[in-house]
Amino acid sequence: MHKVLSFGFLAGCLIFTQAAQANTTLTLDPANGALTGLAGATVGWGFTFTNDTDFAVITGTQFCDSSSSSLPAGCLPVSPDLGIYTDFAGMQFLVAGPSPESTSVSQSFDNTLMTGIGSFAIDPSASGTVSGLIVVTYDLYSVSPNDPTFDPSDEISGGNYVDATASVTVGSLPTAPEPGSLPLLAIGLVALCTRLRKKAAAGPA
C-alpha cells in the first residue's frame, strides 16, 4: 500500500513539474537569436518571457557555450576571448504569471538603459561566430511576490530554467584599398576629368 502511494505521489510531482515547465517559454529578439556585430562592439538580445502557471520570478540569465550540458548548473560560459556576457534581466525584479500580473514580460535591448535579456561585448580581436544558448533561471511561487500577503514559504520550486538558441557573428569593416592601387585610381580619375573637360569645350556635336 505504501509503495503504491509513494509511486502515485512521485508521478504526481513529475506531472506537475512537466506542466509548470510546459507553460513557460522564452523568445529572443531577433527571433532566431542570431546577432551580428563588429569586433569591439556591444550587442544584445531583446526577449519575451511567458509564464501562465503560478508566478515566475526571473533570477538570472547566462550565455552558455553550445557544448554545455545538464543545464543550468552545467552551463559553460562562452570563452572570454570571444566576448563578455552581462546579465540584464536577472538584475531586475521581473514577475510573469496570471492576474494581477501579466503572463508575458517583454523588453527590447538597450545597452544604455540595461534592458533586454543581456549584452555581449565582443572582444576587439574576436572573429567568426559564437554559438550557444541563452539560459534563463526562475523561481515559481503560488502567490505573486508583489502581493502584500506574499511569504517566502509560498515558493513552489526554485532553479527552474528555460533556454533559447543564440549566436553572435563577428563582422568586419570594409577593406581599405591597397596602397599600390591608389596611384592607378588617381590616374584614372585625372583621365576621366580631362576627357569630360574636352567634351564640354567642344560643345554639342
Residue 5 has what pLDDT?
39
Residue 7 has what pLDDT?
38
SS3 assignment, position 200: helix
SS3 assignment, position 48: strand
Show the domains of the chain with their CATH numbers: 25-202 (2.60.40.10)
Mean pLDDT of 89-109: 97
Residue 3 has what pLDDT?
46
Tell me the pLDDT tens digit for each residue of 179-188: 555 565 556 5
Confidence of residue 191 (pLDDT cuts 50, 70, 90): low
Place of cell 556591444: 42
Backbone angles phi, psi at 189, to 5 degrees: -65, -40
SS3 assignment, position 43: strand
DSSP codes, 89-137: GGGS--EE-STTS-SEEEE--BTTTTBSSEEEEE-TT--EEEEEEEEEE
pTM of the model: 0.74
Is 89's pLDDT higher than 50?
Answer: yes
Residue 23 has what pLDDT?
87
